[in-house]
Amino acid sequence: MLSGITSSIREWAGELHLADDWMTLFTVSMGMLGAVFYVASISMKTVIPLRIAGIASAVFFLVFGVLVHSFTTIFLYFILVPLNSLRLYQMLELIKKVRVAAGSRDLSMDWLEPFMTKRRYRQGALLFRKNDVANEMFLVVKGVYRVPELNLIFRPGEIFGELGLLTSEQRRTQSMECVESGQVLTITYDKVRELYFENPEFGFYFLRLISERLLQQVAHMESVLQQHGIDPHYRGT
């Protein structure tokens, strides 16, 4: 009987040892997968694949932290998982809104609001002068703004100041004044470039929208010239 009990204890100990080996292997695998996805994330050139790889890495490291009972690891990656998920969601929503806007020719660009800062202007204030250095674009929230040289009016929902981003010298092509006190949202060209290079799809649709706005302004100028009896296609010799 004693030998039978001893044999049973040995079998149980062997099974327990085997279970420990599998758990150790699983724990190490979680850490290795986390490391692989982390290296993959820092090698990504665009933000969406980077965020996806970052989320996967954080999830594996979080599981690893739970298995090894590392509270600092658990705390760190418990924060990083939802943070990366939120940033991924924001970028996907931005791309979606830009795509819809480009398809519907909605030129308001209000989908840039999450990346912009508020600024207020009083009536008569000059936002910028022609040939000033250009480093930001504007989205009208409240008030009315006018280009004195062309008598163009900008109202809430419209954007201006984007052409400076496309010129080689990055200078204002016209002046802009506030004719009715209000509020605008601004975004720097550096931030636009950052969004552009983080996700080429954003850049593609953004350029389409800018082109549409430029063509719209050209058409407006032609209609103004025609109203004054001037042929917009006439070229003097």
234 domain residue, yes or no: no
49 and 152 together in one domain: no
Q: What is the pLDDT of residue 107?
A: 53
Contact status, residue 6 vs residue 158, Cβ threshold 8 Å: no
In a domain, 237, yes or no: no
Instruction: State whether 130 and 81 are in the same domain.
Output: no
98 and 206 in a single domain? The answer is: no
Question: Is residue 63 located within the same domain as residue 114?
Answer: no
How many angstroms separate the CA atoms of 40 and 53, rounded?
Answer: 7
pLDDT at residue 99, as a whole number: 66
In a domain, 232, yes or no: no
Q: Could you say which of 51, 72, 103 is where a domain stops?
A: 103
Number of domains present in the structure of the chain: 2
Q: How far is CA 194 from the centre of its chain?
A: 8
Its pTM stands at 0.54
- 165 & 223 share domain: yes
What is the model's pLDDT at position 12? 42
Is residue 213 classed as helix, strand or coil in its secondary structure? helix
99, part of any domain? yes
Q: CA of 173: how far to CAs of 128, 133, 164, 208, in Å?
A: 10, 10, 7, 20
What pLDDT is recorded for position 9?
Answer: 38
Residue 157 has a pLDDT of 80
What are the two backbone dihedrals, phi and then psi, of residue 119, each rounded to the nearest 5 degrees? -150, 140
Domain interval for residue 154: 110-227
User: How many C-beta neighbours within 10 Å does residue 152 have?
Assistant: 17
Q: What is the mean pLDDT of each run of 10 residues along the chain (237 residues)?
A: 44 49 80 88 78 90 88 89 87 72 58 82 92 89 89 84 77 90 90 75 70 72 70 54
pLDDT for residue 122 = 93
Do 137 and 155 fall within a single domain? yes
Tell me, yes or no, whether 80 and 144 share the same domain.
Answer: no
